[in-house]
Structure 1
Amino acid sequence: MKRNLRMYSKIFLCTLIGMSSCKKNDNSPEQIAVAPIIPITPPTSTTPTAVIPAYEVGTGSGNLTIDGASLDFTRIKLVRIKAGTYKTIYIKNLSGTLDAPINIKNNGQVVITDGLETDNIINVSISGDNDIGIKYGFSFENIPFRAIKMNKRIFGVTLKSLSFRNVADYCIAGERSNGDLAYDGGENTRNERFKVINCLFDNTGAIVFNGSLNKDNSQDMGLFKDVEIAYNQFQNTNAGALCVFGNIQDYNVHHNVVNNVNMSNNNHNGVFYMQGNGTFHHNKLTNYQGNAIRMWVYSRGSSPVTVEIYDNICYNTRKYGGFEIQGFDRNIYPGKTTYVNAKVYNNTVGRMNTSKDWEGEILDLYNYGGTLQYYNNLGFELYHNGLPIANMINNMSDTKITLEQNNKYVASQQDAVTDLESFLSKITGIGALL
């Protein structure tokens, strides 16, 4: 009996001890260990880089012919020429579309020593921009005659990222098969959408396409429409006129840089010499001889268009003034052409005609049948036959000037522009802004 009481006492005591060890009203939640957050790296894409199908041509030397008659361009629109030094490249019978042109590109540096010739190419781009790190993938060097000869009608053709050094004759030239193409008013009888973009011309001859419009002999041939000459560099040549089109509608000549040309050439040159209508803007010409552009003007159709010269920099010419606008009766062809109107504005022109044997002002103005708007132009260090500078126009015409305002002449470069690199005008709103 005593043993049982002793056992019950022990059980009771243990129960009390257990109860006393519990805290009253303890509602603390159970502590749960937080798992570390591991950033999830997205899986590497397994989609392969798109491969553009191309014809790989050339051996790296010799003479290369690319003939559309022997290649299927239904699906493949790209031709890559293997790097190397070629004597000649002949490209013929290629016909792309406006939306899917045929592209001919370099695959590495391609050097051409005798010349490139095209024949019957439509909607084709010849471009040396295939490789990062190579600015001009097609290089024409020490060419004894013409660097590029172009035959037949030229339609939708672009020449881009090419360099030309030491070319003895014309650099890019149309042949008689496009220059003599008689224009009858239809698209198929003119050349159209020709572009020369981002090219270097160093000690070369000119870009020349010799069309002609003359009512006196009923001639209208070699017409070019919608031509763009842009972002090119011309330097170190004595060739005279560097870009010539004899019969052109709607040209756009812009963002070209010209330096050190015609140092001993005494012809009355126009560095750009364009007969027809168009615009000339954002070009920079320094250390040269000749007008920056000789615009010999007429409009296509019966309604006059407006030609424009604006935002150009012209500095340090040995002969002549900044720009020329002139018209001729032979170019006013009843049923085909009429006169133009003109706008010349926001140009910076300085140190003209340092030889002092001709007028050296902003504009050489001849009769052309239309009106002129002339404003916001900046001139400095100009020459007016030893007389004080007036409105900076060498006016040999009876052209009606319908707007003439905010043109500013200052005697010295230091008062006109901040420096001889940017030519930033010191006069707000006046002069060129490249």
Structure 2
Amino acid sequence: MRINLKMPLFIALIAILFASCKKNTVPEEIKSETSVIAPVANPVAPTNPVAVIPSYEVGTGSGYLTIDGKSLDLTSIKLIKVKGGTYKGIYIKNIIASPASPVKIVNNGQVYISEGMETDNVSYVTISGDAISNLTYGFAFENIALRAVKLNGLMNGVTLKNMSFKNVNDYCIAGEKTNGSNLVYNGNSNTRVENFKILNCFFDNAGQISFGGNLNENEDTGLFKDVEIAYNTFQNTDAGSLCAFTNVQDYNIHHNVVNNINQSSNNHNGVFYMQGNGIFHDNKLTNYQGNAIRMWIYSRGSSPATVEIYNNICYNTRKYGGFEIQQFDRNIIAGKTTFVNAKVYNNTVGKMNTSKDWEGQILDLYNFGGTLDYYNNLGFELYKVQGVITDMINYNGNAAKTNISNNKYFAQQSSAITDINRFNSLFAGIGSPGN
């Protein structure tokens, strides 16, 4: 008997197909998930650490303070901070630094000094009252019976700045014999004082700044070189010559303001009195007595230096003219010194010698071996004892060789300048640029 397998085989195939179709039905859609992206924060720049300058903190705020370089390691620490307070005196000694690595002594708060400050054996040291942003004069000297600041010995590269001086009865800042008459110059730099500066100081009813020795045939002492006196204010004193250096080479006096000086003095003062050579410029002097500067002139060596007076404002003197230039035979030494040449230009000078007992012109010119270039000066309300004012020079002794041009004089202030506060010239290129 044969068994027929066709029919069951067909049915089986249909069943298999049906089952497979059922498994292949479209699956339910997969729900998509929303991506969550973390916000990106703005990058924060790394903060540079504030540089902390290593320093020594000295002083208690009272009494006497001594700062002795021998007791401090200054090989790497170059800053000394003085604690604020009221000191009787401050004594600074034995600090020998270098131009490349100077030492600075500053105020850490307001420092008052009632007796004085003294230095000895210091070089390339700056003593400055500018360390606190809201204090202009961090070292204040008030009601000083004797000298406010005394400086001993060689003091190359010493700077005094941002100090105030009020009611100083004696010299305000002065050298001693060890950098004056006892310091003999032999031609070497280690026998003179170099790069001494007084900057940004305030002097009110204070005494004289005084330094130097003498120069003549038999003596050469107390020589200072490259002195700078700048950005200071002087007022309300009868000290006579407010700043005097009696043996100086290459000084630079500039941007000082002077007012109400020598109202009861009748000496022949020079507010600045300098013996040697240098430049005097951009200073403003009002309501005073004396020449703005008395230049007693000589050059070191055999080549003549050139002294210059320019861009200054001088107004309302009771006695004397604007500037003085004078040479003395005692200062001209064969093989050591010679004459100078001079330039006087772009100065504004008015209302000179109101007492009318002396010439009151722009320049008092005495014996003078060099050549004078004198130009672009502006004068008004000057005084001449006899005759008419011409070039505004008061000639005394042997006249120098002069090159004179483009100067203007007016009898009235209103014809020369805008006002007596800023002193702006009414003529381009003539007189001081103003204040």
Bigger mean CA deviation after superposition, 381-390 or 220-229 = 381-390
How far off its partner does 1:227 sit?
A: 0.2
Aligned counterparts of 1:207 and 1:140: Cα–Cα separation in 2: 14
How far off its partner does 1:334 sit?
A: 1.4
Aligned counterparts of 1:317 and 1:92: Cα–Cα separation in 2: 42
Aligned counterparts of 1:42 and 1:359: Cα–Cα separation in 2: 75
| Contact residue 374 and residue 401 of structure 1 kept, 8 A | no
How far off its partner does 1:39 sit?
A: 8.8
Report the equivalent of 1:129: 130
The Cα offsets for residues 29-81 of structure 1, whole Å up to 9 and x where unpaired, read as xxxxxx99x89633143331000000000000000000001101000000000
Aligned counterparts of 1:166 and 1:298: Cα–Cα separation in 2: 35
Report the equivalent of 2:367: 367
Aligned counterparts of 1:93 and 1:225: Cα–Cα separation in 2: 22
How far off its partner does 1:402 sit?
A: 3.7
Secondary structure at the residue paired with 1:177? helix
The Cα offsets for residues 234-272 of structure 1, whole Å up to 9 and x where unpaired, read as 000000000000000000000000000000000000000
1:275 and 2:275 equivalent? yes
Aligned counterparts of 2:166 and 2:43: Cα–Cα separation in 1: 51
Report the equivalent of 2:195: 193
- The 5-angstrom pairing of residues 112-123 of structure 1 reads 112-123=113-124
How far off its partner does 1:387 sit?
A: 3.0
Q: Which runs of 5+ in 1 are unaligned?
A: 1-34
Aligned counterparts of 1:316 and 1:130: Cα–Cα separation in 2: 37
Secondary structure at the residue paired with 2:157? strand
Report the equivalent of 2:29: none
| Contact residue 284 and residue 314 of structure 2 kept, 8 A | yes
1:53 and 2:54 equivalent? yes
Aligned counterparts of 1:155 and 1:82: Cα–Cα separation in 2: 26
| Contact residue 65 and residue 87 of structure 2 kept, 8 A | yes
How far off its partner does 1:397 sit?
A: 3.2
Report the equivalent of 2:80: 79
- The 5-angstrom pairing of residues 290-329 of structure 1 reads 290-329=290-329
How far off its partner does 1:420 sit?
A: 0.9
How far off its partner does 1:400 sit?
A: 3.2
Alignment CA distance shift 1:39-1:366 (3 Å): farther
Report the equivalent of 1:379: 379
Secondary structure at the residue paired with 1:304? coil
Alignment CA distance shift 1:358-1:74 (3 Å): same
| Contact residue 307 and residue 343 of structure 1 kept, 8 A | yes
Secondary structure at the residue paired with 1:285? strand
Aligned residues: 399
TM-score by length of 1: 0.90
CA RMSD of aligned residues (A): 1.6
Q: Which amino acid aligns with 2:143?
A: N
Aligned counterparts of 1:268 and 1:343: Cα–Cα separation in 2: 23
Aligned counterparts of 2:40 and 2:63: Cα–Cα separation in 1: 58
Aligned counterparts of 2:326 and 2:83: Cα–Cα separation in 1: 47
Report the equivalent of 2:5: none
Alignment CA distance shift 1:63-1:415 (3 Å): same
The Cα offsets for residues 276-333 of structure 1, whole Å up to 9 and x where unpaired, read as 0000000000000000000000000001010000000000000000000000000011
The Cα offsets for residues 155-182 of structure 1, whole Å up to 9 and x where unpaired, read as 0000010000000000000000110200
| Contact residue 366 and residue 395 of structure 2 kept, 8 A | yes
Report the equivalent of 2:343: 343
Alignment CA distance shift 1:131-1:42 (3 Å): farther
| Contact residue 370 and residue 399 of structure 1 kept, 8 A | no
1:148 and 2:156 equivalent? no
Q: Which amino acid aligns with 1:209?
A: F
1:243 and 2:243 equivalent? yes
- The 5-angstrom pairing of residues 257-272 of structure 1 reads 257-272=257-272
1:184 and 2:186 equivalent? yes
Aligned counterparts of 2:203 and 2:288: Cα–Cα separation in 1: 15
How far off its partner does 1:96 sit?
A: 1.1
Alignment CA distance shift 1:70-1:430 (3 Å): same
Find the structure with the greater CA-based Rg: 2
| Contact residue 108 and residue 131 of structure 1 kept, 8 A | yes
| Contact residue 112 and residue 139 of structure 2 kept, 8 A | yes
Report the equivalent of 2:401: 401
Aligned counterparts of 2:190 and 2:399: Cα–Cα separation in 1: 36
How far off its partner does 1:100 sit?
A: 1.1
Aligned identity (percent) is: 66
TM-score by length of 2: 0.90
Aligned counterparts of 1:47 and 1:312: Cα–Cα separation in 2: 46
Q: Which amino acid aligns with 1:69?
A: K
How far off its partner does 1:336 sit?
A: 1.1
Secondary structure at the residue paired with 2:431? coil
| Contact residue 368 and residue 400 of structure 2 kept, 8 A | no
1:108 and 2:109 equivalent? yes
Q: Which runs of 5+ in 2 are unaligned?
A: 1-35
The Cα offsets for residues 214-248 of structure 1, whole Å up to 9 and x where unpaired, read as 11xx1000000000000000000000000000000
Alignment CA distance shift 1:407-1:39 (3 Å): farther
Aligned counterparts of 1:402 and 1:136: Cα–Cα separation in 2: 44
| Contact residue 367 and residue 400 of structure 2 kept, 8 A | no
Secondary structure at the residue paired with 1:69? helix
